[in-house]
Structure 1
Amino acid sequence: MTVHIGAKPGEIAETVLLPGDPYRAKWAAETFLSDVVCVNEVRGMLGFTGTWKGNRVTIHGSGMGMPSLSIYVNELIRDYGAQTLIRIGSCGGMQDSVKVRDVIIAMAASSISTPSLGIFKEFNFAPSADWSLLKAAVEAAEAKGTPTHVGGIYSGDVFYDERPDLNEQMTRHGILGVEMEAAELYNLAARYGRRALAVLTVSDHLLTGEALPSQDRESSFGDMVEIALEAAFA
C-alpha cells in the first residue's frame, strides 16, 4: 500500500492504462478485461486489475490535471513496478482536419508548466512518447480503420482557458489537441526509464464548438481503449 493506492503487492500489473475519470476506469475494466478485481478505492480513485487476451492489465484512474496524475504515476512506478503506462482520455481538437470522435496518438506533449518544472528550471525538456508504443498504436489504429492523427498535443494547466492568443499559436504550429495530463506522464516515464503513450479521443473541438453529449462519450471511447491494449502487447 501507498499513501494514495491501497493495492497489495502483486495486485498492480506491469501494464497500466490511465483514464482520468475513475468511473471510466471501471467502465473500461468491465468492458475489456476478464477476471476483473478492484484493487484500489482510496479517495474514490478506482483501480482494477484483470486480463486481456491472457495478459495482466491494470486500469487505474489518474484524476484531473498533471499534479494528480503525477501522484499516481510516481507510486505506480516506484512502489508497484509499472513498466508500461498509457493514458486513455478525452481531448479537445485544435485542427480543422481533426474531427470529434477521432483518435489522437500523441507523439509529443507541449506545456507551459508541469510538476517537473522544479527539476528542469530554465531547461525546456521536450517530453515524448515511447517509439515502440507509438508505432504499435498507429498500426493498431490503421488495422481497425479508426480515423487517427499522430503528432503533438498540448497539456494545459487549466480547463477553463482564457488564452485565445496561445490557442491561435498552437493551432498555427500544428498542435492536434489539448488535454491536461500527458506531458507529465511523458516526463515521469523518461525519468524512470518506462514506456509511456497517450491515446486520446476527441470529445470536443475548440475551433468548431462541437462536443459529444455525455451519454455518447463512453460508447465513442472504445476504439481508444482497444488501440491502447493492442499497442501495449504488440
Structure 2
Amino acid sequence: MTSADLPIDENGRIYHLQIKPEQMAPNILLVGDPGRAEFIGSTLLRDIEVEREHRGIVTVTGTSEITGGRATIISPVRTTVTTAGMGTPSLEIVVNELVALNEINFETRTRKLDFPRLHILRVGTSGGLQASTKIGTPIITSYAIGMDNTGLFYEAPYPDQICERLEQDLGHIVRNAMSIGSRFHGKIHPYVSRAEPTIVDALLEGSASLGVPAKLGLTVSTSGFYAPQGRDIGRVKPAIPEIESAFAEYDPMLGGQRIENMEMETSFLIHFLGALGYWAGSICTTINNRRTNTFDHHYQEAVKNSTRVALLALAVIRSRNPDVRIS
C-alpha cells in the first residue's frame, strides 16, 4: 500500500488519528463531539495509555470498568474512544483508519494474515421521529437507513433479505415524497444496513442492567442536519419536503419496531464494518422530538447514561467472546 493510499508519518502514526497500531484497543466507542471523547476518557476510563488530538479528532485509549445492577464481576476492558466528527464523510475517514490500524503491518504496508475482530459502537445524539418517544430515551439501532451516499462507494452485500425489502419500500417512499418535477426525482435512493444482532442484544441487556429505559428501532442517517432531515429554514427549499414525517409513518413490519430517530453517521458505520466481519452498532440519545417539536437543552446526563450502557455492552461481549480473530 503506497504512501498516497495509506499516509503514515515519520513516527509510525496514521495520518488523521495520529496514533500507532499498538495504541488502539479492539473495543471502540465512536462519538461525534471531541469534548465528549475527552469527557469519557477523563471520567469513564482509567489507566490512560494515550491521548491524542489532531485535526479536531480526539482519541483516548484506557481501561473501562463498568458493571450493571444484575451483572456479576466483569473484567476491565481495554477501550479506545475516538471522534468521528459530523456526518458519514468524516466518519468514513476515521473508521477506515481504525481498520487499517488493526489489519495493516505498518512496516511492510501489507495486510496481516489474521487480526482481532473489532467491536465498535457509536454513542451519539439524534432526533426522535415518534411522538411516543420521550426526550432523553436512548435508541438502539436494529437497521439503519442510509440517506447519505458514502455507503454507495463500498460494494457491501445485503446482510439479509430484510435490508433488500426495506430498500425497495423506502425507495418508493422517497420518490413519492418528492415533486415529480424535481430535478432530483428518482436520483435519491436509500441503502439499508443491519446492526450486528449480538451488539443489539448486549445493548438491550446493558440498558436493562443499568436501569436506563431504551427503545429498539430503525435509524435514518442523513447527509446533513437541515434540509436532508426535513428542516425548512433556508431560502433554497428541501428536495424532499417533510421527509421526516414520511419515515415516521412507515411501518417496516418488524415486530412493532418503527423508524425511531434521525442522525448522520450510523448507516455507513454498520454498512462498512459489517461487510468486513466486524461487529458494529449504535445507541443514540433522543435530544429532540420532531413530532412534538421539543428539544432537551440539558441532555448531557442522558448521553452519559447511553455511554455507560455502551461500555457495559462492550464488556459483556468481550467476556463472552474473548480473542476472536479474523483471517
- Tell me the distance in 2 between the aligned counterparts of 1:223 and 1:185: 22
From 42, 48, 56, the counterpart of 1:44? 56
Partner of 1:199: 283
Matched, 1:103 2:125: no
The unaligned stretches of length 5 or more in structure 1 are none
The letter for the 2-side match of 1:225 is T
- Tell me the distance in 2 between the aligned counterparts of 1:19 and 1:118: 23
Matched, 1:139 2:205: yes
Partner of 2:161: none
Task: Spell out the pairing of 1:84-99 with structure 2 (5 A cutoff).
Answer: 84-99=119-134
- Could you report, residue by residue, the CA deviation over 1:191-234 in whole angstroms, capped at 9, with x for unpaired residues? 21100010111111111121121xx2322212101111111121
The letter for the 1-side match of 2:47 is D
From 22, 31, 36, the counterpart of 2:34? 22
- Tell me the distance in 1 between the aligned counterparts of 2:311 and 2:19: 22
Residue 102 of structure 2: SS of its match in structure 1?
coil
**Partners of 1:18 and 1:85 within 8 A in 2:** yes
Partner of 2:152: 117
**Partners of 2:135 and 2:295 within 8 A in 1:** yes
Matched, 1:231 2:243: no
- Could you report, residue by residue, the CA deviation over 1:9-49 in whole angstroms, capped at 9, with x for unpaired residues? 31110011000111111111211111224432111210101
* TM-score, L = length of structure 2: 0.67
**Percent of paired sites with the same residue:** 29
- Tell me the distance in 1 between the aligned counterparts of 2:46 and 2:54: 23
Partner of 1:76: 98
RMSD, aligned α-carbons: 1.8
Residue 101 of structure 1: SS of its match in structure 2?
coil
- Tell me the distance in 1 between the aligned counterparts of 2:226 and 2:270: 23
Distance apart, 1:154 and its partner CA: 0.3
The letter for the 2-side match of 1:187 is H
From 251, 271, 275, the counterpart of 1:187? 271
Residue 51 of structure 1: SS of its match in structure 2?
strand
The letter for the 1-side match of 2:121 is I
Indicate the structure (1 or 2) with the bigger Cα radius of gyration.
2
Partner of 1:169: 246
**How many aligned positions are there?**
231
- Tell me the distance in 2 between the aligned counterparts of 1:171 and 1:70: 27
- Tell me the distance in 1 between the aligned counterparts of 2:149 and 2:118: 21
The letter for the 1-side match of 2:219 is I
Matched, 1:221 2:287: no
The letter for the 1-side match of 2:273 is A
- Tell me the distance in 2 between the aligned counterparts of 1:118 and 1:43: 24
* TM-score, L = length of structure 1: 0.93
Following TM superposition, the consecutive aligned residue runs of length 4 or more in structure 1 with deviations greater than 4 angstroms are none
My pick for the range that moved more, 161-170 or 25-34, is 161-170
Distance apart, 1:187 and its partner CA: 1.1
